[in-house]
Amino acid sequence: MKTTVLMPPEPYSLRINKLRDEMARRKLDGYFVQERMDQYWLTGFTGEDGGVLVTQKAVVLLTDGRFDEAADREAPYAKKILRKKRDAQTNAKEIKRLKITKLGFNPGHMCVGDYNDLKKFVAPAKLVPADNMITPFRGVKDGGEVQRLRTAIRVAEQAFEKVRGWLRPGLTEREIAAQLAYEMQKLGAQGETFPSIVAVGPNSSLPHYEPGDRALTENEILLVDWGARVNWYGSDLTRVLWLGSIAPELRKVFDIVREAHDRATEAVRPGIKAHDVDRVAREVIRKAGYGERFNHALGHGLGLVAHEIPRVGKGTKTKLEPGMVITIEPGIYLPGLGGVRLEDDVLVTDTGYEVLSALPVQWS
């Protein structure tokens, strides 16, 4: 009886073909995918124990018995190999079976010990470090990915609105962060894109602050940086709030950051270099006298992980392309007083940009 070979459905067939074209360009007859989100993007398989071997004719999914049924459901077109051991010898057996002679791999996804072991077992086949095989493709989202990001953004925004209405003096940063995570999950999120940053008063001058026991009080700034992960795609937003009023200098800084945010967003278009978008925001802040207080990149790509390509910062010459989703998040940080950062998620379109997030930047 002839075995029926299932063809990968879209979008996976298109993605696998892109990888195969890149393999041919680099003269590789095999590629080993080891990073979980690369694996998911390429095949649809979600298991945390997995590896994918791709040749011009085969897609082989390496996993273990815990994910036997999941592999059948999520990637039925791939040849499933259930490994009893997750070791180099088991992987090498499949590499040899596929008659691969030049196997590409991402050097950032394989430790030195694994490389040395695999190199020994696959000989005389060669292991070829091959960075940026999948990463550039992930940077440009298709319509389905953009829709998932829209959903993740809406969930994050709705959760934030619920928490905003619940805020009151005395709540600690940790309590606010926990409530925000809870509300996102209630609305359908798998979880947070990253641990939320909730910073009250002077703590908001630390860009990557971890929530602690400081309580919310009136007349202090509250900075919240958060995101929801829905169907594996994550949003990333930042807003600042205050109960009552805030220090005059922080109010001034808020207006400067908002202008930098708006001018940079308006600069987004296909073909512009990422560092030129960063420069627009940085120049607004520099002219206002706070250039040294904007101490991080303007933004980054967004998708299956919180930081994807492109980096939107100094020296990044990557040109923006339609389908890229980036964050725009200028900030000014004043030690001992507080900080302001405003962040939205922006889609590069064929003619310019679309701001995917819709939360007000400021509340009256």
pLDDT the model gives residue 7: 87
What pLDDT shows up at residue 6?
78
pLDDT tens, position by position, 165-184: 999 999 999 999 999 999 99
Pairing verdict, β 102-105 and 30-33: parallel
Q: Domain-by-domain residue ranges, the chain?
A: 12-138, 140-355
Please check whether the two domains, 12-138 and 140-355, share a CATH topology: no
Instruction: Name the residue with tokens 């953009």.
Output: 146
| 86: confidence class by pLDDT, cuts 50, 70, 90 | confident
- CATH level 3 topology of 140-355: Creatine Amidinohydrolase (3.90.230)
Give Cα 303 distance to the centre of its chain: 4
- The mean of the pLDDT values for the chain is 96
Q: What pLDDT, on the 0 to 100 scale, is given for residue 26?
A: 98
Quote the CA–CA distance of 279 and 306 in Å, as a whole number. Answer: 22
Phi, psi (rounded to 5 degrees) for 172: -85, 165
**pLDDT at position 102, please?**
98
State pLDDT tens for residues 203-223: 999 999 999 999 999 999 999
363 has pLDDT over 70? no
> Where does residue 238 rank: exposed (0-12), middle (13-18), buried (19+ CB within 10 A)?
buried
Q: Give the side-chain half-sphere CA count within 13 A for 130.
A: 23
Question: Does residue 5 carry a pLDDT above 80?
Answer: no
The CB-side HSE value for 82 (13 A sphere, CA atoms) comes to: 9
Token representation of residue 72: 């059948």
Q: Look-up: residue for tokens 């040395």?
A: 116
**Closest alpha carbon to 136 in 321, 314, 329:** 321
Pick the CATH number of 12-138 from 3.10.310.30, 3.20.20.70, 3.40.950.10, 3.40.350.10: 3.40.350.10
User: How confident is the model at residue 3, as a pLDDT?
Assistant: 47
Residues 298-339: pLDDT tens digits? 999 999 999 999 999 999 999 999 999 999 999 999 999 999
Q: Residue 362 pLDDT > 90, yes or no?
A: no
Mean pLDDT of 231-247: 96
Q: In the chain, pLDDT over 70 holds for what percent of residues?
A: 98
Instruction: Let me know: does 235 contact 228? Beta carbons within 8 Å.
Output: yes
